[in-house]
Homo-oligomer: A and B are copies of this chain.
Amino acid sequence: MSEPMDYASAGVDIDLEGSAVASLIGALSKSVRAPGTPGAPVDLPGGFGGLIEFGDNLLALATDGVGSKLQIATALEQWGGVGIDCMAMNVNDLLCVGAEPIAFVDYVAVPKPDPAIHAALGASLAEACRLARVTLAGGETASLPGIVTELDLSGTALGWLPKGQAITGEHLDEGDALIGLPASGIHSNGYSLVRKIIEHAGLSYTDTAPFEAEHPGRALMRWTEGAPTLGEILLNPTRIYCNPVVDLLNAAREGEGFAISDIHGICHITGGGLSNLLRLHPSLGWDIHSPLPVLPEFQWLQSAGGVETREMYRTFNMGMGMVIAVDAEHADAVLSWLQERMEGVAIVGHVRDQGHRVKHAIEGVEFSHY
């Protein structure tokens, strides 16, 4: 057996990315927009960015791309899900501050315009807008043969919330219940490692998946007959959590058995896996004692790639795409509300005041930095 695979060996240097981003942020001066004027930045305790003032409301922007998952879509010429991935990566981030996504714009870079790609992207973005309940408010297609060798897709989502009702993590407390929302698949992170494992296993994306792909509460996006192929599982689009999370926020704001102040934190599990939770609070810890079932593709990827368990949980969502931290007294009410609207939602753990770390039920799966 060769060396166990990890994210860094798949060509992604998280530390280098961090220092590059720090260089960019470090060069930015303070905003030129004065407090109280439209566009003035809002400093949140949790260190979240992207919120700006707008009268009695706050507006939030999120920008992200689909990343190297696109390379599998392009290899298979199946772009039907990537618009949903692009939307999900952005709107799910907006939900985390308590914002309702309302509009989206896409940015497409291609070496050469291709009506087939664009028609597929258009259909995918239209479905994404329906799922996220947002208006597609524009987009740009750039032909850049000297810069891109194949499709790149990113986008920006706009959301809003009433001033004073941002979810910031500042009310997180010992004993808060952690409600896990199931993932639809790998979502849009970790694909450099996924692609390396598939290559290592000598498999093709068009091969039948070498595992049982059925999983309760998720539907695969299919384009072949018969047993699902690896490509169909790998390209299953990222779950968009606007339904039910926007409705949850509205129900809370209307006081339907729980209040917006009972929702203490929302975390979108993306690159970095469970370590994302550490961003929500500077000192509290996260005890994931009852995790959601692991999706079968993660079990197979781990085995085929000989990936260490901790590395899996630092790279992938492992079946849980979003975590909502709720005041202990109202956790059952919020849980019931969510369970009526999404299959597979469960209490997966609790907030603990025993150090700034994530502890998972599996021995050795622990994170103290992201």
Q: Which of B20, B50, B55, B137 contacts A118 (CB 8 A)?
A: B20
Report if A250 contacts B (CB, 8 A): no
Task: Find out whether the CB atom of B147 lies under 8 angstroms from the CB atom of A52.
Answer: no
Report if A28 contacts B (CB, 8 A): yes
Check A68/B24 contact, CB under 8 A, given A102-B39, A113-B13, A138-B49.
no
Residues of B within 8 A of A50 (CB): 105, 137-138
Task: Find out whether the CB atom of B26 lies under 8 angstroms from the CB atom of A119.
Answer: yes
Report if A140 contacts B (CB, 8 A): yes
Residues of B within 8 A of A100 (CB): 38
Residues of B within 8 A of A54 (CB): 54, 102, 160
Chain B proximity of A2: nearest CB distance (Å): 22
Q: Which of A30-64 contact B (CB under 8 A)?
A: 31-33, 38-41, 49-52, 54-55, 57, 59-64
Check A146/B68 contact, CB under 8 A, given A23-B118, A119-B26.
yes
The interface size bin for chain A is 35 or more
Residues of B within 8 A of A22 (CB): 115
Report if A224 contacts B (CB, 8 A): no
Chain B residue, CB-CB nearest to A146:
B71
Q: Which of B115, B129, B144 contacts A32 (CB 8 A)?
A: B129
Task: Find out whether the CB atom of A67 lies under 8 angstroms from the CB atom of B142.
Answer: yes
Central interface residue in A70, A100, A137, A141, by most chain B CB within 10 Å: A137
Report if A27 contacts B (CB, 8 A): yes
Task: Find out whether the CB atom of B61 lies under 8 angstroms from the CB atom of A105.
Answer: yes
Residues of B within 8 A of A52 (CB): 102-103, 135, 137, 158
Copies in the complex: 2
> Which secondary structure dominates chain A's binding surface?
mixed
Report if A130 contacts B (CB, 8 A): yes
Q: Which of A195-211 contact B (CB under 8 A)?
A: none
Task: Find out whether the CB atom of B160 lies under 8 angstroms from the CB atom of A125.
Answer: no
Residues of B within 8 A of A145 (CB): 11
Docked pose: A32 CA to B136 CA in angstroms: 9
Report if A328 contacts B (CB, 8 A): no
- What are the 3 closest A-B residue pairs judged by CB atoms, nearest first? A39-B102, A27-B122, A20-B113
23 sampled A-B residue pairs with Cβ under 8 A = A17-B141, A17-B143, A20-B115, A23-B118, A23-B122, A24-B122, A24-B141, A26-B122, A27-B123, A28-B125, A28-B136, A31-B136, A32-B134, A49-B138, A63-B138, A65-B142, A65-B144, A105-B156, A109-B109, A147-B150, A147-B151, A147-B152, A148-B148
Chain A contact residues, CB within 8 Å of chain B: 11-13, 16-17, 19-29, 31-33, 38-41, 49-52, 54-55, 57, 59-65, 67-68, 70-71, 100, 102-103, 105-109, 112-123, 125-126, 129-130, 133-152, 154, 156, 158, 160
